[in-house]
Structures are given as C-alpha cells and as structure tokens.
Chains A and B, each alone.
Chain A
Amino acid sequence: MKLLIIEDDSKIRAYVEKGLNEAGHTVDLAEDGEKGLHLASTEKYDALIVDRMLPKLDGLSIIKTLRGTGNLTGVLILSSLGDVDDRVTGLRSGGDDYLVKPFAFIELLARVEALGKRATSPSSVQSTILKAGNLEMDLLARKVRRGGKIIELQAREFRLLEYLLKFKGQLVTRTMLLEGVWDYHFDPQTSVIDVHISRLRKKLGDSNNTLIKTVRGAGYIIEDSF
C-alpha cells in the first residue's frame, strides 16, 4: 500500500516509517500540516496517518479540507488526546479510525491495513459470502459451514467471526474487536476477548488454532489459506 504519514514528532515518524516499510508498504512523510495537505491532495494514497496537533495546519483541518474536496482516502488519526469526546470530534471531522498515543506499532499496522482494505473493497460490492479455506459464512442466511457441515453460532460469535473474516489475511487486534464487535469504548480488565475467541475456536473445531491464529501480544488473524 502507498501511505502518507503527517506527523511532526520526528521520532514517531521515523519509527512508524521503518515499521511500515518492513511490512512492505511505501511511505511518504510530511512533518507539518501544510506539506501534508499538499501531498495528500496531489498524490493518490491508500491510507493517511494524521497526527492531530501539527504545526501550520492541524490534523482535523487537513481531514476536513480533504473531505470537502471529495477525497475519501481512509484516515487514521493519531493523537495523545484519548478521551471519548476527543475521539468523537476526530471521527466527526471525517477520520475513519482513531489511535491514541502511546500506541503499539502492531496496533497501528493492523488498523492502517484494515483502512486500506476497506478502500479496495467498498461496501457496495462486498459479497454476502465470506470464505477462508473450507470455512464459509453466509451473511444473509446467517449460516456458517465448515467443510460443508453447518456450525451453530450465537449472534455475538457470528459477528466476531464475521469481523475476523472481513479482514482475512490481516491482523485484527483485541481493541479492534472490542470496538468493532461490541460497540463500546472501554478498557477490559482481563482478556475477555481471548475467552470469546477460544469459545469460537471450539465451536469451529479449530483445535490447534490453525484457523484463527493468535499473534502474540497483538491479536488474531485468519489466514487467507490455511
């Protein structure tokens, strides 16, 4: 993917750039708001990573300007302002996702890749059948089959699997799951998500964690072909 990072903190900029390069992405950098807006509106990117507080032009203004000109590139907002209100203002101004500093790089990577994925497969052409290996999920009939055998899932388990399959081949972090499947912004005390995943695995007959793989210290992934 081709990505743009607009961030004034050189340390974070370099660290994110290095990580994204290693993950196989092309990265452009901008250290202030004006340069960032210029790049974002002249080049074509798969996703933008925008810091909120920037010299010359702040992050939210960049996003508003871009959205105003019809640019719909996915935007991940980076900010040290982590309140729900801050998050809401960020998302309202046109951001697609919000990540609070300090963050784990893997979380950023997972979210940026999810944004890029969303850009390449718009919701209008999204199929109602999700597949991975011998697992098949029919979103309309709300049926899950593995190797032709129907598996009964509860509503929440269904949504969990749906989320993982939508981003198949990509890491999905625990917070992404909490936000995407449970719709609440909160800090879980114990690893509740892990329990839900292990339950789902059991139902899917995924005894050696080959279908839903655990990425240590980060989250889960359903590989494209397992």
Chain B
Amino acid sequence: MALLFTVLLAVSAGILFYSLVDFGKQDFLGATEAAIDTEIRMISSLKTSQTESVVPYIEQRTKDDQIVRFRYESENGKLIAGTIDPMPQKVDKIAEGILRFDLDTKRGQETFAAKIHTFQDGSRIVVARNIHEIIANYERLKQLSWLIMSLMSAVVLASFGISHFVVSRINRIAATAQNIVETGDLSQRLAIDSRWDDLSNLAEVLNGFLTKIEDLMNGVREISNNIAHDLRTPLSGLRSDIESMKGRAVSNGDVDRLLAEADRILAIFHALLRITNIEKGKRSQSMRDVDLGKILGDVVDLYEPVAEEKGMKININAVSNAKIRGDSDLLFQLFTNLIDNAIKFSPEGSIIRLHTSKSRECITVAIEDQGPGVPDEEKEKVFKHFYRGDASRSTPGNGLGLSLVRAVAEHHQAHISLENADPGLRVRVTFQPYQ
C-alpha cells in the first residue's frame, strides 16, 4: 500500500516535470523558428520579384523591430545590407538549421537565434531574432521546474516514510486486535511508540476502551461468581431443610420456613435485577422534579419507630425547596437503605443525624451515625455486589443494599462518599439541584 502510494506520487511528479520542460522548449523554439521562417519567406518573395526592394525592406524591418536583425551578403560573403556585421566568431547550433550567437545590443550582449537561407544566385540572408527574454524565461521555468521537482521528491520521500510508518502501525494495531479476538485475552494493549501523532492518540483511546471493557468483564465475572457463591449457601440450606422433612409429617411451620427461605433467595434475584435495570438507566422516563425534603421526611417517618425500638433518635435538619430531578421511588429506596444501615450498625441509644445543605452548585444530604464506621480500605468495596464488611457479617442482609444505593445515586448523577464522623460513619450524597 505504502509503496503503491509513493510510486503513484513519483510518477505524477515525473510527468509534471517532463511536461514543464518540454512545453518550455517547444514554445521557445517553435515560435522563434516560425517568425524567422516568415521573414525568410518574405525576403525570398521580394527577391524573386524585384532585387532592389530587398535592401530597403531589410533596412525598414531593422528600424521597426529591435528584436529582429539581418545580414544579407553576397556569394563571396560581402555584406549587402543588415546590421549583423561581422558575423560573430562563436556560433552554436541549437537545433537542426537553427544557430545561436551573441550580438551587441543597447543592453549589452544578448543571445539571438538565427537561420541562414541561401538564394539561387548564391547570396545569403541571415535572419536573427533576439531570444534573450525567452531564454531568461525558459531558464526561470527550468529553475522553477527543478524547485517543484525537488519539492515533489521531498513529498514523495516523506509520504513514503509516513505511509510506511502509518501502515505498519495500523497493521500492528490490527494484529493486536486480531490476537485479542482470537485469544479473548483482554489484558493485551496496543503499543504506543510516540505521543505526538494521531495514531498514538487512537491507540491510546483504544487502550482506554480495552481497559474499560476489561473492567466491565471482570466486574461481570466477579458478580456472576459472587451470585453463584452467594446463592449456593441459601439454596443448600433450603435443600437440607427439605431433605430433613423426608419421611416425617410436615407441619405448617415447616412450610412457612421453607417459603421464607425461598423468598429470601427470590429477593436476592429481585434486588440484582433491580440494580441491573437501574444501572441500565431504563427508568429515565420516570424522572421528574421531586422535593428531597419531602422524601427525607417520609423516610424518617417510616424509620423513626424502628429507631425508637432501639432507643435511638433520628435528628433531621432539612432545607426548604431542595428540588432535584429524580425518581422519588428510587430516592426513597436510597435513603431507606442508608437509614436502615445506620440503625442496624449503631449502638443502642445513639443518635442518627440527617443533615441537608444547599448551595448554588449542589444539594448535599449527609447521614451520620455513631456506629463502628467503615475502615478506609473498605470504603470502595462496600458498594460492590454481595460485599459484606466484617462488621456486617452477623447482621441480616444480602450485601446488595449499598450496591443499590450506588446504582440509584449514579442514575441521578449524584456523588456518594463515605467519611469518618469520629465516631461513626458519615454518608454524603451530593445532588445537582434542579433549575
């Protein structure tokens, strides 16, 4: 490919150069020769009719036209008329029948092209035309041609280099991609040899793309792994419970227990599907402007009795008109999950604080408890599906609560962060206000 491109470019450069040079030559010789031939024909016709009119004609022409000069000489070389006298010493031949020599002019020595015609009586006429201008033009043209030619050569060379470079890089990218397709190994990356060209940019973008795919694939793999693992436990529990009922009378209580176990497994699937759907952003049509204050009030209203059972209090501090664009059911779910966690992990008699603040750029809801908090190294992990920190192993739950929280937050372009409240945990959810 690279070679073909370069060859095409080189051929076109060659053709351009040849035609430039050839055109100049043709023009310069052709026009001059034609003019000289006309003069000769004119003089010949004069000579055949009346001999004496040749001399006046030559004198007349010489006076009229500075470009043309004549030498009319007799058989033995004696000048009869004309201004070329004597014949210059140095005479070159440009082409067949055309001579070239220098003559003195007002502007110094200038080049002339000439033709010699011998009449039947032996006398000769030399007709010369000044070709100084034409030659100068021709030279300029030639220089220009050379310049173009050398530029073209440079372009040819550069294009060869670039196309070779580009094509080989593209081939390498293709080879790597092919390799990834064949082996399914997403850890491979495209080589980046430089930083300045567009191809490196492309390679970098593609590498980013690969990293993203790899992350997603790993995430999916991890999740399906976890699902398999986390569902096996309750399922095997269910199985052993059913097995233990074999061969004995089954009471209603037994059936209720089995149903509760099955329901728990179904609830896990339900939660997973829900998270997936939220992450897919499938519900964006249910976004309307909602008042966070009202939702928070309803959450507290729902959970206050639960907190009171543990001797805890929920302090709420709300701001007015905390409007955002969102889905109230999902937001309600988000805050109930957070409050539920806070109640679950806080000691009896402690206080849970719900603090809302509003600025021009954001609305922040902070939920602060006095529980054990989350160690720094677990702060990212707690959002993962099925992850359960050491503190939560003994509490009920399926490890999907915070995954759902994060999915809902991302669905609302909200940022969620965990901070140490010393003691306890502060969960900060930052929303963009709705204008």
Contact = CB atoms under 8 A, between A and B. Distances in A.
Q: Is A bound to B?
A: yes
Interface of A: 82-85, 88, 102, 104, 156, 182, 184-190, 192, 195-196, 199, 216-217
B302 A182 contact: yes
Contact of B306 (A104, A185, A190, A216): A190
Nearest to A105: B259
A85 B256 contact: no
Given A82-B273, A85-B286, A195-B306, A189 B340 contact: yes
Residue of B260, B277, B298, B305 with most chain A CB atoms under a 10 A cut-off: B305
Given A189-B401, A217-B260, A102 B329 contact: no
10 closest cross-chain pairs (CB), A and B: A186-B333, A189-B340, A184-B332, A195-B305, A185-B329, A195-B306, A217-B256, A199-B305, A186-B332, A184-B329
A190 B396 CA distance: 9
Nearest to A181: B302
Given A84-B327, A184-B332, A104 B283 contact: no
Contacts of A102: 266
Contact of B336 (A88, A188, A196, A217): A188
B329 A84 contact: yes
7 contacts: A84-B286, A104-B263, A186-B336, A187-B333, A190-B306, A190-B396, A216-B256
Nearest to A193: B302
A216 B337 CA distance: 25
B283 A84 contact: yes
Interface in B329-370: 329, 332-333, 336-337, 340, 344
Contacts of B259: 104, 217
A192 B303 contact: yes
Residue of A85, A88, A102, A187 with most chain B CB atoms under a 10 A cut-off: A187
Contacts, number: 61
A192 B344 CA distance: 12
Given A184-B332, A217-B256, 5 more contacts: A84-B283, A84-B286, A182-B298, A184-B329, A188-B340
Nearest to B327: A84
B397 A189 contact: yes
Contacts of A82: 270, 273
A88 B285 CA distance: 11
B282 A184 contact: no
Contacts of B332: 184, 186
B112 to A, nearest CB: 96
Nearest to A199: B305
B55 interface: no
Nearest to A188: B336
Interface in B235-287: 256, 259-260, 263, 266-267, 270-271, 273-274, 277, 282-283, 285-286
B271 A187 contact: yes
A214 B53 CA distance: 144
Contacts of B215: none
Contacts of B266: 102
Given A104-B263, A195-B309, A187 B270 contact: yes
B336 A85 contact: no
A99 B270 CA distance: 14
Contacts of A195: 305-306, 309
Contacts of A184: 298, 328-329, 332-333
B309 A156 contact: no
Residue of A82, A104, A186 with most chain B CB atoms under a 10 A cut-off: A186
Nearest to B343: A190
Interface in B43-88: none
A189 B336 contact: yes
Nearest to B295: A184
Contacts of A192: 302-303, 305-306, 336
Nearest to B299: A184
B222 interface: no
A167 B283 CA distance: 33
Contacts of A188: 336, 340
A65 to B, nearest CB: 25
A190 B327 CA distance: 22
B301 interface: yes
Contacts of A186: 329, 332-333, 336
A192 B333 CA distance: 13
Contacts of A156: 301
A85 B337 contact: no
Contacts of A83: 277, 282-283
A189 B337 contact: yes
A85 B329 CA distance: 11
A141 B167 CA distance: 85
Interface in B310-340: 327-329, 332-333, 336-337, 340
A88 B286 contact: yes
A88 B283 CA distance: 11
A44 to B, nearest CB: 35
Contacts of B327: 84
B260 A85 contact: no
A182 B332 CA distance: 10
Contacts of A217: 256, 259-260
B331 to A, nearest CB: 9
Contacts of B286: 84-85, 88
Nearest to B262: A102
